[in-house]
């Protein structure tokens, strides 16, 4: 929790949306589809594509997941950064808060995406939980921060 006891908890910078990555974190690379799928006409289109994922945990405080999708030539197709954490304000129920930015890279280098803020109660005791979803266009600064993160994830995939 922050110093005032309200709002989201104080998290280390690496756990904040678009924050720097810890020195030792390395992406897990996974192919898009299996070799059997790549042998089909439909699957051949994604042969050589890979997702790079870094998962970071802050224990019970929350989770951060970065994901990058690249094609067989190494071109960036999409990227996202998600932070999910729990916060507690005195006298109030625990709240779940998720901040996310994600989207696709266009062939001209532009980024088209959305920033989401999602909040809701925990535990969910109702059949229809009261989630609040707030989408908006990412700022230029947020897109640049995501680009820097993506470059760092790709660099770590390639090694020193």
Q: What are the extents of the domains in the chain?
A: 13-158
Scanning the structure block, which residue is given the tokens 């945990």? 57
Give residue 132's pLDDT. 87
Are the CB atoms for 51 and 64 separated by under 8 Å?
Answer: no
Are the CB atoms for 137 and 114 separated by under 8 Å?
Answer: yes
What are the CB-based long-range contacts (under 8 Å, 24+) for 113-121?
113/80, 113/138, 113/143, 113/146, 114/138, 115/139, 115/142, 119/95, 120/95, 120/96, 121/93, 121/94, 121/95, 121/96
Mean pLDDT, consecutive 10-residue stretches, the chain (160 aa), reads 44 80 93 88 91 88 92 96 83 82 95 93 64 93 96 88
Report how far residue 65's alpha carbon sits from residue 54's, in angstroms, rounded to the nearest whole number.
Answer: 6
Give residue 1's pLDDT. 35
């Amino acid at each position: 929790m922050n110093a005032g006891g309200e709002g989201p908890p104080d998290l280390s910078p690496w756990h904040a949306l678009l924050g720097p990555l810890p020195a030792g974190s390395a992406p897990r690379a996974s192919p898009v589809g299996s070799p059997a799928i790549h042998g089909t006409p439909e699957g051949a289109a994604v042969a050589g594509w890979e997702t790079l994922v870094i998962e970071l945990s802050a224990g019970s405080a929350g989770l951060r997941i970065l994901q990058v999708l690249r094609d067989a030539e190494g071109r960036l197709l999409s990227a996202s950064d998600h932070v999910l954490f729990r916060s507690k304000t005195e006298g109030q129920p625990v709240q779940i808060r998720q901040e996310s930015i994600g989207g696709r890279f266009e062939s001209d280098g532009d980024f088209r995406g959305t920033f989401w803020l999602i909040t809701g109660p925990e535990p969910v005791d109702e059949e229809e939980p009261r989630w609040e979803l707030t989408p908006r266009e990412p700022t230029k600064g947020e897109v640049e921060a995501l680009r820097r993160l993506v470059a760092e994830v790709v660099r770590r995939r390639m090694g020193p």
